């Protein structure tokens, strides 16, 4: 069973700490490498994603490494 971990990050502008889930961290990394959809439309930030989309990133964390 995969262990769930969260990470605390600091928002440089507000100096507040945020807790980021593994799915959010993975999504944000993916977003950095692929900021646009195939049609040139910018992808949504984590906060803009709907609940189902966030869930799919959470359950998908680590699946790539398992499948290889």
- Six token digits for residue 37: 């959809």
Report d(CA 29, CA 36) in Å as an integer.
Answer: 13
Cα-to-chain-centroid distance, residue 28: 4
pLDDT one-digit tens code per residue, 29-63: 999 999 999 999 999 999 999 999 999 999 987 66
pTM of the model: 0.68
6 or 16, higher pLDDT: 16
What angle (nearest 5°) sits at the alpha carbon of residue 51, between those of residues 32 and 42? 30
């Amino acid at each position: 069973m995969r262990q769930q971990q969260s990470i605390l990050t600091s928002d440089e502008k507000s100096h507040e700490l945020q807790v980021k889930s593994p799915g959010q961290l993975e999504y944000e990394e993916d977003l950095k490498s692929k900021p646009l959809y195939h049609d040139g439309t910018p992808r949504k930030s984590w906060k803009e994603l709907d609940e189902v989309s966030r869930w799919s990133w959470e359950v998908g964390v680590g699946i790539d490494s398992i499948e290889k």
